[in-house]
């Protein structure tokens, strides 16, 4: 188990480094090539990258600084604070993904009839308000972490952290909803089900529906090429490539969070140590890969883009 833990730690550190580079690069690319004329879509990407970075940074501290410190306990406040910050980044990343998917679907919906008329979220003021709502919801949905008993149940030691029998030092398990079978407050179960519904099931449903609508529009545009559309080929191809990137990121989101839900809903039948590590790797797959998908698909990682500036 020790060797497996070390191997998983090395894998997680590698994934986190890749994600750190991708999200930082995405933010720098937008800041260097788009400011001060940043548009709604770039603002949403900045929010997504910032949420990803926060989650990566806090989880790195959480995993390396506490979960691997099996010889000492963690005080309750530190454990709850790190859990809150980590959950906040995860939820904010999910909500910004939903916002991006809705925005792109609205941009493509009836584009031929609407021509160059803007949609509601094209306004930078509306985009800022929508981003603020995402941050506010992520904060509110993460706050109940402070009311959850963080004590690790006996017999569920994973090799990551162990609690002390004296003082305020406790184990700080990676499962945010974990509790012992003999002592599991109703709040734990209520928070878990509300969280899964609002932060996993509903976003997954919205992303799936908007993804299908975007795919239908892209396939329809491909089969109805007219001479008039050829004249607008440059702008149309840019929007199409960006939409394909969004669609690819949404597909990645669907796969990752479907697997995450399966692990959550089959928690009773899956070994805790395996489930905790698998959930962490699954959640970080989207956080670390999505910035590359968005950046490449929107030409933000292009060297020519930087040279022009």
The domains of the chain are located at 11-307
Mean pLDDT, to the nearest integer, of 197-222?
A: 89
| Whole-number pLDDT of residue 39 | 86
The mean pLDDT of the chain is 76
| Whole-number pLDDT of residue 66 | 58
Least confident of 11-20, 99-108, 161-170, 255-264: 161-170
Where is pLDDT greater, at 181 or 78? 78
Rounded percentage of the chain residues whose pLDDT exceeds 90: 25
| Whole-number pLDDT of residue 162 | 39
DSSP string across the chain: -HHHHHHHHHHHHHHHHHHHHHHHHHHHHHHHHTTTS--HHHHHHHHHHHHHHHHHHHHHIIIIIIIT-TTS-EEHHHHHHHHHHHHHHHHHHHHHHHHHHHHHHHHHTTHHHHTT---GGGSHHHHHHHHHHHHHHHHHHHGGGGGS--PPPTT---SS----SSTTEE---S-TT---SSS--HHHHHHHHHHIIIIIIHHHHHHHHHHHHHHHHHHHHHH---HHHHHTHHHHHHHHHHHHHHHHHHHHHHHHHHHHHHHHHTGGGS-HHHHHHHHHHHHHHHHHHHHHHHHHHTTTT-HHHHHT-
**Taking the model in full, what pTM does it have?**
0.83
| Whole-number pLDDT of residue 70 | 47
| Whole-number pLDDT of residue 165 | 36
Q: pLDDT per residue over 227-252, tens digit each?
A: 444 444 445 677 778 888 999 999 99
| Whole-number pLDDT of residue 285 | 82
- Domain range 11-307, its CATH number among 1.20.1070.10, 3.40.50.720, 3.30.1370.140, 1.10.287.130: 1.20.1070.10
Where is pLDDT greater, at 22 or 60? 22
| Whole-number pLDDT of residue 73 | 54
| Whole-number pLDDT of residue 283 | 75
């Amino acid at each position: 188990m020790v060797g497996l833990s070390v191997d998983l730690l090395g894998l997680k550190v590698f994934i986190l480094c890749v994600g750190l580079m991708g999200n930082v690069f995405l933010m720098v690319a937008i800041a260097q090539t788009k400011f001060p004329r940043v548009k709604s879509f770039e603002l949403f990407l900045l929010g997504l990258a910032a949420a990803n970075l926060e989650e990566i940074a806090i989880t790195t501290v959480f995993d390396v600084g506490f979960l691997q410190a099996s010889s000492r306990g963690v005080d309750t406040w530190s454990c709850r604070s790190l859990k809150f910050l980590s959950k906040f980044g995860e939820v904010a990343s999910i909500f910004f993904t939903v916002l991006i998917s809705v925005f792109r679907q609205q941009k493509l919906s009836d584009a031929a009839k609407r021509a160059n008329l803007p949609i509601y979220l094209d306004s930078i003021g509306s985009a800022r308000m929508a981003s603020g709502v995402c941050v506010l919801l992520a904060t509110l949905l993460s706050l109940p972490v402070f009311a959850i008993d963080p004590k690790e149940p006996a017999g569920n030691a994973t090799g990551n952290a162990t609690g002390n029998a004296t003082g305020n030092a406790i184990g700080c398990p990676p499962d945010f909803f974990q509790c012992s079978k003999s002592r599991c407050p109703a709040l734990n179960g209520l928070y878990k089900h509300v969280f899964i519904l609002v932060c996993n099931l509903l976003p997954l449903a919205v992303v799936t529906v908007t993804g299908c609508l975007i795919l239908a529009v892209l396939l329809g545009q491909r089969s109805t090429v007219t001479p008039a559309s050829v004249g607008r080929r440059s702008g149309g191809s840019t929007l199409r490539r960006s939409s394909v990137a969004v669609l690819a990121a949404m597909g990645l989101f669907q796969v990752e969070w479907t697997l995450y839900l399966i692990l959550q809903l089959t928690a009773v039948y899956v070994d805790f140590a395996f489930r905790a590590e698998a959930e962490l790797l699954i959640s970080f797959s989207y956080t670390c890969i999505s910035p590359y998908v968005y950046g490449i698909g929107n030409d933000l990682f292009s060297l020519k883009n930087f040279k022009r500036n």
